[in-house]
Amino acid sequence: MRMVHVLTSVVGTKCELEVKNGSVYEGVFKTYGPECDLVLDAAHRKSPEPTTGPRKEDIVESIIFKASDVVVVTFKDVDPNFARKVSTDTDNFTDAAVTGRINGEHKEKDLEPWDGGDGHNSDSLESLDTDVSNGWDPNDMFKYNEEKYGVLSTYDSSLSTYTLPLERDNSEEFLKREARAAQLAEEIEASASYKARVALENDERTEEEKYTAVVRGDRETHTLGRENKYVPPGQRNREPLSWSTGRQNSPRLGQGSVGPSAPRPGPHDYSPNSGTDQRVVNGGPPRMSPKSQRTPRSHRVPPSRISGMPPGVDLISHNSPGEAPSGPPNRNNSSEGTWSSVVSGAHRPRSPRQNSMGGSSPGSSSLPSPQTEALTSASSPTTASPTPSMVTSPTGDAKECRVQETRQTPPSANKDIIKSLDSSPSINRGVCKGPPSMPSDHRKQIDNLKKFSVDFKLQSSSNSDTSFEVNTKPVRDPAEKPKDLPLDKASAAGRDAAEDNGAGNSAQASEAAPVPPTTSTNASKPDSPAALSPSPSAADAKRTGLDVTSQGVQTSTLSGSKHEDKEEKKEAVQDQVRKSTLNPNANEFKPRFNSQPKPANTPTPPRPQGQPSPSIVVPPPQTVYGQPVCFPQMYPLTPVSPGVQSPAMYQVQMPHMTVSQSKPYRPGKVPNMGQQRSDQHHPPGTPTMMHPATAPGPQIVAPSQAYSAQYFTCSPQQFTSQPLVQQMPHYQSQAQHVFSPVMQGGTRMMAPPTHGQPSLVSSSTTQYHEQTHTMYVSAGPMPQQYPHPSATLHPHPQHPQPSATPTGQAQQGGPPQHGGPPNHPAASPVQHPQHQQAAAAAAAAAQALHMASQPPQQQMYSALAATPPSMTPGPNPQSPQASFPSAQQAVYIHPQQVQHGYNHSHIAHVQQAHMQSGMVPSHHPGPTHPPMMLMATQGPPGGPQGPMAQTALNPIPVSSTTHFSYLAHPQGQWTSPQ
């Protein structure tokens, strides 16, 4: 013991060590071993004759001397107190010093009571405890001093010593100035930035509440809904999980027992509104809380309601409140943009995570969830007057969906993610199903989730209906979501989801901000879709403003017109949806189920492999699909709102995905980085309005910010013409960013069915683009991706279905498309995960890639079709695609990675092309987009897609043809993979 102490105390001192043979080594004593082996650093053998010192070459890094070889070691000039923690001279009375001196002899110190003596007045102490006032009033001080000490203060409240008093007069000049000052003050105080800053200052939320949106929801729910008990941060995640599990479990359990169908039934039971509402509520609380915090008004209340309200209750309450509180939503729109983004971000992250968790299956489920989220958000807004509640509910739904998905997926490899998701999603989950059960039986849960996803879709559809009703609210929610998304972007999965949401949110936000009037007029339903589309356009415009002003303008204008159109359509759809929400949902659910099951299967495999972000991405598309399916009739409304939201979510997720992928794949790929960054930046930087755009932008941006912006603009423009068009932008952006986003976009464009396909397509296209890019770089990778997509199963199965459906969808959309979308989503998620996992699931990755590539291509195509530039992009995609098919098969993981990197750039190009095409699509609005989507979807399946694409293309002469060519190539390629 003492030896250890002594030796330790001389560590770092120079020593001379004499060994048996008499030679002496000098070095710095480094350490010692249990057998008293000694280690000298920088040791050299000391020569007998004194020299100036060792030469560099004489010094050995370190030498270990065995104790048996050592004769004597001399440490010279050791300061025994050097390493003493407490110097007895200086710190005699610190706890450390006191205990340090009795080290090893633990003797209880005799404590002596302190006697303050009689001099202390107990009054003073008591007064301290009872005195609630915040110190003394200055006047009291002056008075006290005057009375007690006779000191007169010279304080002058006018501070005439330091400043001059304002001389007021009635002169015209003065009044003029006064009025001017008042006006300025009013302007400043009315500005959003001022309010935001004031809100920051007066924000009563703790930093944790502010910056841990995910956890916060849980906490809020806890405090608000259940108990006012403080939950330590460390336990919040768990609790959320438990909550989610508990909540979700109950729902899920019921559903779970039934199986996938069971969960879905739940939503059905809810009916669109109820289901969405509940979901919204669940998800809402967390998001809402942030918003509420920001905006004390309605936000806080809604959150509390949401949190407090049980899922079911919430649903009801939300619905009614949602509509009424249109005013609050507006507020939210401005400020919420950021808030919403934050909230959405939380949701998104969850969803992404879920997706990732789910892997392929999660992807499918996740896709649905995003859609659901969007739908929910839309629905919630519509239903619930309080935007927050609306938002929350949508997010909640999405979250729930995602959560479920995530839970399911978690088993594979995303446990961490799942956890995080669970924590955040817990609320959502609680709404959707029992999260706890999910975690335990991840696979089962996954299956359930898949079912849920299907259900979700249904819900989403219902939600969308609700959303349609309260478009304004949804919009706000979306805006919030986008904000959240940016925040969450960090998590790839989260990002994807966020992107989807963000897109939706952004769209909504944009709608709310720019379109506020329209939304109001349209009634929330149509407006929301329109708003969504506009928002994307707005986002695009913003981005474009950065990148290309002209584009942005165009997009904005287009979006505006489109919004109107969309609104009308949406309204019609909404009405239909409202009326037939239950029935449509049921129908939709079935299709979705079909499609989803497959995705789920594929997703599950990916899950392990799949990364959170990828999985997330995938899920959104699925959700989108599901929603679209539900709303085939509703298309405009549901697709748009869901699509938008989902896109946002996707985008966010996408960035993550892209980042992860891009980073790993190609370090040099700046585009990806940029995109990611841009995504992140955009969400935070751009509030609600910007968010939508930003959300998409981020995705796009991920590939290339500038491009993304342009793309966005283009896509928005295209979309603007019709709701579908708007969705398209989202899709494009999403697709570019993330597969899921693409998917969503497609769904939006097409309407639910189409969406599903589009989403698939978009995802595939995005991947393809990347692949194509990669293809350019290396054909091999591309092919691999394609094959993989097929391998992903989900996508493929879906694709086949989608292909069939797509055609039908293109025409009608509806269920078939939904089926397709789910598959795509699943595939995309899987793909993403795969990408990340790369080596782990080459096949899955390939599939994912395929999915992604396909969506990008579609986007590209659309862009191309729209404008000559698009054409150029198109060719590239085509060539890449063509090359891809063969190449892709050959190249597996690597290609994917490469593709990602390439994809970004390609995507950017593609996006641009899409933008252009998007312009064209605007003409074609619905049809073109669907075609696009179809094309994409068809492309992957192969033959079926081709036809579809063609059909779609037909509507769009130039663009379509170009697209077709591309698509055709892609399709052929795709088919081969499949």
Partner 1 sequence: MAAPGPGEYFSVGSHVSCLTCLGQRLQGEVVAFDYQSKMLTLKCASSSGKPNLHDVILINLAYVSEVDIINDRTETPPPLASLNVSKLANRARTEKEDKLSQAYAISAGVSVEGQQLFQTIHKTIKDCKWQEKNIIVMDDVIISPPYQVENCKGKEGSALSHVRKIVEKHFRDLESQKSMQRSQAQQTQKDSTLSS
Contact positions toward partner 1, by CB under 8 A?
1-14, 18, 20, 22, 27-30, 35-36, 38, 41-42, 44, 52-59, 67-68, 70-86, 100-105
Residues ≥6 apart with Cβ < 8 Å to 629? 457, 461, 587, 588, 591, 592, 595, 752, 753, 755, 756, 813, 814, 815, 817, 818, 819, 821
Q: Could you tell me the smallest distance in angstroms from the CB atom of residue 83 to partner 1?
A: 4
SS3 sequence, 744-813?
Answer: HHHHHHHCHHHHHHHHHHHHHHHHHHHHHHHHHHCCCHHHHHCHHHHHHCCHHHHCHHHHHHHHHHHHCC
Q: Could you tell me the smallest distance in angstroms from the CB atom of residue 112 to partner 1?
A: 23
87 or 583: CB nearest partner 1:
87
130 HSE (CA, 13 A, CB side): 6
55 or 168: CB nearest partner 1:
55
Q: Are 793 and 828 in contact (CB under 8 A)?
A: no
Q: Could you tell me the smallest distance in angstroms from the CB atom of residue 89 to partner 1?
A: 12
Q: Could you tell me the smallest distance in angstroms from the CB atom of residue 69 to partner 1?
A: 8
63 or 313: CB nearest partner 1:
63
What phi-psi label fits residue 523: left (phi over 0), alpha (psi between -120 and 50 degrees) or beta? left
44 or 402: CB nearest partner 1:
44
Q: Which residues pair with 26 in a beta bridge?
A: 16, 44
Q: Could you tell me the smallest distance in angstroms from the CB atom of residue 10 to partner 1?
A: 5
17 or 281: CB nearest partner 1:
17
Q: Could you tell me the smallest distance in angstroms from the CB atom of residue 110 to partner 1?
A: 18
91 or 203: CB nearest partner 1:
91
101 or 120: CB nearest partner 1:
101
86 or 586: CB nearest partner 1:
86
Q: Could you tell me the smallest distance in angstroms from the CB atom of residue 106 to partner 1?
A: 11
What's the CA gap between 973 and 769, in Å, rounded?
13
* Nearest C-alpha neighbor of 618 from the set 824, 836, 448: 824
Q: Could you tell me the smallest distance in angstroms from the CB atom of residue 92 to partner 1?
A: 13
* Nearest C-alpha neighbor of 596 from the set 630, 637, 639: 630
Q: Are 806 and 820 in contact (CB under 8 A)?
A: yes
Q: Which residue type occupies 187?
A: E
104 or 117: CB nearest partner 1:
104
3-class DSSP state for residue 944? Answer: coil
| Phi–psi pair at 702, nearest 5 degrees | -40, -55
Any idea what DSSP says for residue 47?
A: P
95 or 169: CB nearest partner 1:
95
What's the CA gap between 265 and 589, in Å, rounded?
9
Q: Could you tell me the smallest distance in angstroms from the CB atom of residue 109 to partner 1?
A: 15
11 or 313: CB nearest partner 1:
11
Sign of the four-CA dihedral 811, 815, 819, 821? positive
Q: Which residue type occupies 495?
A: R
58 or 146: CB nearest partner 1:
58
From residue 698, how far is each of 428, 512, 773, 901 by CA, in Å? Answer: 25, 20, 19, 15
From residue 420, how far is each of 236, 394, 415 by CA, in Å? Answer: 10, 19, 8
Please report the DSSP string for 474-522 in residue order. Answer: HHHHHHHHHHHHHHHTTSHHHHHHHHHHHHHHHHHHHHHTTSHHHHHHH
Any idea what DSSP says for residue 85?
A: S
3-class DSSP state for residue 316? Answer: helix
Q: Are 452 and 252 in contact (CB under 8 A)?
A: yes
Sheet holding 24-32, edge to edge: 14-19, 24-32, 38-46, 60-65
70 or 258: CB nearest partner 1:
70
From residue 5, how far is each of 1, 9, 14, 63 by CA, in Å? Answer: 6, 6, 17, 21
Please report the DSSP string for 100-157 in residue order. Answer: HTTTT---PPPP------SSS-HHHHHHHHH--S-S--HHHHHHHHHHHH-PPP---T
Q: Could you tell me the smallest distance in angstroms from the CB atom of residue 40 to partner 1?
A: 10
Q: Could you tell me the smallest distance in angstroms from the CB atom of residue 706 to partner 1?
A: 41
Q: Which pair of tokens denotes residue 567?
A: 């609104």
Q: Could you tell me the smallest distance in angstroms from the CB atom of residue 111 to partner 1?
A: 21
32 or 452: CB nearest partner 1:
32
Residues ≥6 apart with Cβ < 8 Å to 140? none
101 or 197: CB nearest partner 1:
101
Q: Could you tell me the smallest distance in angstroms from the CB atom of residue 15 to partner 1?
A: 8
Q: Could you tell me the smallest distance in angstroms from the CB atom of residue 490 to partner 1?
A: 33
873 HSE (CA, 13 A, CB side): 39
**Residue in the block written with tokens 């991920």:** 702
Q: Could you tell me the smallest distance in angstroms from the CB atom of residue 61 to partner 1?
A: 9
Q: Could you tell me the smallest distance in angstroms from the CB atom of residue 615 to partner 1?
A: 43
56 or 148: CB nearest partner 1:
56
